[in-house]
Amino acid sequence: MLKGKTALVTGSTSGIGLAIAKALAQQGANIVLNGFGDAETPKAQIEALGVRAEYHGADMSQPGQIEDMMKFAASRFGRVDILVNNAGIQHVAKVEDFPPERWDAIIAINLTSAFHTTRLAIPAMREANWGRIINVASAHGLVASAQKSAYVAAKHGIVGFTKSVALETATTGITSNAICPGWVLTQLVQKQIDDRAAREGISATQAQNELLGEKQPSLQFTTVEQLGGLAVFLCSPAADQVRGVAWQMDGGWTAQ
Ligand code: NAD
C-alpha cells in the first residue's frame, strides 16, 4: 500500500516508534529512522522487510539538528511523505519540585520538535498533494495525571497543534492526526514501574498491576504492534477524511 513512499519516524530506535516504522515498512514504505542508542539493529530489521532504511541521529531538542535531518531525508529519498512525530521523554515530580531544565527538555522534545519537522515537511507534501502527519500524543493529551505537568502540557499541546495543522491542510491530500496510547510496556514505562516498585518496596509485577489498575480499565497494556496497525490505517485511503482527530488506544483510560 505504501510502496514508493518515505516515512520519517522520530524516536524510532526503540518502543512505539520502532514498531510504527516496522509496520509502515511492511506496507512497502522506505524509512528514515531517528533516536538515540543502537541504530544498526533497527536499521537491519527494517531492511530485512525489503525496503530502504536510513538513520539520522538528530537530537529532537535541537532545531538546527532537526533541519539537518529533514534535509538528509530529502537528499536520500526526495521527500518525506509520512511524518511520525514520536520521540518523547518523561519526568515525574510535583510542580514545585520539577527541575526547570527537565520541563524545558520535555516541551522541546515532546512538542516543539513536531513543529519543526512539520513546518519543514509540509511544503513537499503540498507539492505532491499527499501527506500523512501522525503525532504520537498520549492519553495524557486528553486527561491529566498528578506529577506529570510537563508531559501533560506537551501532550495537550501536540493534540492542539495536530488540529491546527489539520485545518490548514484540510483542502489538500495531507492529513494530520494524533494517536493517544494508554500504558504501553516500553522502556519509558518500565522505568516508572521500576521506580514505583523501589519506592513502595513491592515487586515489579505488583507495581505493573497497580499502574494498570489505576488508569487502564482493560488491565492490559496497549501493544506497540496495535499502534503500528493504527498508523497503517491512518496512512490508508480509508482514512483520507480522518483529519484532526486524537485517537485513543488506551484500554478505556479516557472513557472514565
Ligand atoms: P521509548 O523510550 O522506548 O522511545 C523513545 C524514543 O525517543 C527512543 O527511540 C529514544 O531514543 C528517542 N528519543 C528520546 N529523546 C530523544 C531526543 N532528544 N532526540 C531524538 N530521539 C529521542 O518510549 P516509547 O514509550 O516508545 O515512547 C514513544 C512515544 O510514545 C513518546 O512520545 C511517548 O510520550 C509516547 N507514549 C508512550 C506511552 C507508553 O505507555 N509507553 C503512552 C503514551 C504515549
Indicate whether 255 belongs to any domain: no
Mean pLDDT on 183-190: 94
Q: Give the chain's domain count.
A: 2
Do residues 75 and 141 share a domain?
yes
**Ligand 1: which atom is nearest the Cα of residue 137?**
44
Indicate whether 51 belongs to any domain: yes
Indicate whether 124 belongs to any domain: yes
Give me the chain's average pLDDT, please. 98
Do residues 66 and 76 share a domain?
yes
Q: Is residue 138 classed exposed, middle or buried when 0-12, 13-18 and 19+ CB atoms within 10 A define those classes?
A: buried
Q: Could you tell me if the CB of 226 is within 6 A of ligand 1?
A: no
Do residues 157 and 227 share a domain?
yes
Do residues 10 and 42 share a domain?
yes
The C-alpha cell 507534501 sits at: 125
Q: If you count them, how many residues does the chain have?
A: 256
Do residues 212 and 129 share a domain?
no
Residue 205: domain span: 185-221
Indicate whether 47 belongs to any domain: yes
Task: Calculate what percentage of the chain has a pLDDT beyond 90.
Answer: 100
Q: Could you tell me if the CB of 86 is within 6 A of ligand 1?
A: yes
Indicate whether 15 belongs to any domain: yes
Report the residue among 89, 180, 184, 188 best suited for mutation to probe ligand 1: largest number of ligand atoms under 8 A from its CB: 188
pLDDT in tens, 109-121: 999 999 999 999 9
Ligand 1: centre distance to CA 127 (Å)? 30
Do residues 104 and 215 share a domain?
no
Ligand 1: centre distance to CA 46 (Å)? 18
Do residues 167 and 99 share a domain?
yes
**Ligand 1: which atom is nearest the Cα of residue 36?**
11
Count of CA atoms in the C-beta half-sphere (13 A) of 147: 4
> Where residue 240 falls among pLDDT bands split at 50, 70, 90?
very high
Do residues 160 and 207 share a domain?
no
Ligand 1: centre distance to CA 86 (Å)? 6
Do residues 87 and 200 share a domain?
no
Indicate whether 252 belongs to any domain: no
**Ligand 1: which atom is nearest the Cα of residue 181?**
43
Indicate whether 149 belongs to any domain: yes
> Where residue 186 falls among pLDDT bands split at 50, 70, 90?
very high
E strand map for the chain: 6-9, 30-34, 53-56, 82-85, 131-136, 174-181, 246-249
Told to judge if 55 belongs to the known catalytic residues of this protein, a careful annotator would answer no
Give Cβ neighbours of residue 156 (< 8 Å, ≥ 6 apart): 140, 141, 142
Report which protein residue has its CA nearest ligand 1's atom 36.
138
Indicate whether 256 belongs to any domain: no
Do residues 70 and 135 share a domain?
yes
Do residues 123 and 195 share a domain?
no
CATH assignment at residue 95: 3.40.50.720
Q: At what angle do helices 187-200 and 204-215 cross, to 10 degrees?
A: 110
pTM of the entire predicted model: 0.98
pLDDT at residue number 56: 98
The C-alpha torsion from 161 through 164 and 55 to 53, rounded to 10°, is: 140
pLDDT in tens, 4-17: 999 999 999 999 99
Mean pLDDT on 221-227: 98
Do residues 85 and 172 share a domain?
yes
Which one of 55, 151, 161, 221 is the catalytic residue?
151
What count of other Cβ atoms lies within 10 Å of the Cβ of residue 214? 10
Strand pairing report for 174-181 and 53-56? unpaired
